[in-house]
Amino acid sequence: MRIQRATATAAVAVAAATAALAGCSGGSSDNTSHTGTDSHTAINPLAPHDLDANRTATTAMQTILSWQPAIDDSKADALVRATPWLGGDLLTTVEDGQRATVRPDREWQRWAAAKDALSASCVRSDTTPAAPDGMRTLVIDVTCRHTVLHATGQSTPLTPETWRTTVTRTDAGWRLTDYRFRSKG
């Protein structure tokens, strides 16, 4: 009885494998048209020229507020990483090699010593002021939450902060041209 079950199981497995392979035959007997490309084109959903004003503000701020204290000299290094989404005076500061003045953080040295990293996640805030359609410069409030990623594998979420950003439409798309911490109250 046991041999018959094993034989039946093997027969079912062989039949299933044969059917699967037949479906992958690659023969031209079917009328299915296969389309595709092997161009290896990278699709970057965060490409600056493809983002609307809101995504430009949130993407730029996520980059500006994500830090690697063990590697970065200061938070200004993150501003350099955000270059693709910057415009105006912010871009000029980075391109001219000027050291941007970035709000210091009292925890920076501790994070650096622990080899922690900080990741920011930002979303458009409900406090964003209304703007008429067709404006080339918009003010967008973004709420950002830092998460401390500890070298131990643990993470610690920090209190969310709101930032007031200014984005400007350029020939190459929307660019972040200013940002300021928005105090509570």
When the pLDDT of each residue in the chain is averaged and rounded to a whole number, the result is 81
Task: Please report the pLDDT score of residue 31 as a whole number.
Answer: 52
In a domain, 6, yes or no: no
Amino acid at 130: A
- Measuring CA to CA, which residue among 172, 162, 165, 174 is closest to residue 135? 174
Residue 1 clears pLDDT 60, i.e. is over it:
no
In a domain, 125, yes or no: yes
Residues sharing a CB contact under 8 Å with residue 78, sequence separation 6 or more, in sequence order: 63, 64, 65, 66, 67, 72
In a domain, 107, yes or no: yes
Neighbours of 48 (CB within 10 A): 21
For range 151-177, the mean pLDDT: 96
Task: Please report the pLDDT score of residue 166 as a whole number.
Answer: 98
Residue 20 clears pLDDT 60, i.e. is over it:
no
* CB 164, CB 124: distance < 8 Å: no
In a domain, 9, yes or no: no
Structure tokens at 120: 């920011």
In a domain, 176, yes or no: yes
Structure tokens at 104: 């210091």
pLDDT digits (tens, 9 = 90+) for 33-75: 555 555 544 445 578 888 999 999 999 999 999 999 999 988 8
Pick the residue with more confidence: 64 or 103?
64
For the chain, how many structural domains are there in total? 1
Rounded CA-CA distance 65/78 in Å is 7
Provide the pLDDT confidence category of residue 24 given band limits of 50, 70 and 90: very low
In a domain, 101, yes or no: yes
pLDDT digits (tens, 9 = 90+) for 124-158: 999 999 998 899 999 999 999 999 999 999 999 99
Rounded CA-CA distance 80/60 in Å is 11
Amino acid at 18: T
- CATH code (residue 102): 3.10.450
* CB 101, CB 180: distance < 8 Å: no
Range of the domain at 160: 48-182
Instruction: Give the three-class secondary structure for 62.
Output: helix
Task: Please report the pLDDT score of residue 182 as a whole number.
Answer: 86
In a domain, 104, yes or no: yes
Residue 11 clears pLDDT 70, i.e. is over it:
no
Task: Please report the pLDDT score of residue 38 as a whole number.
Answer: 54
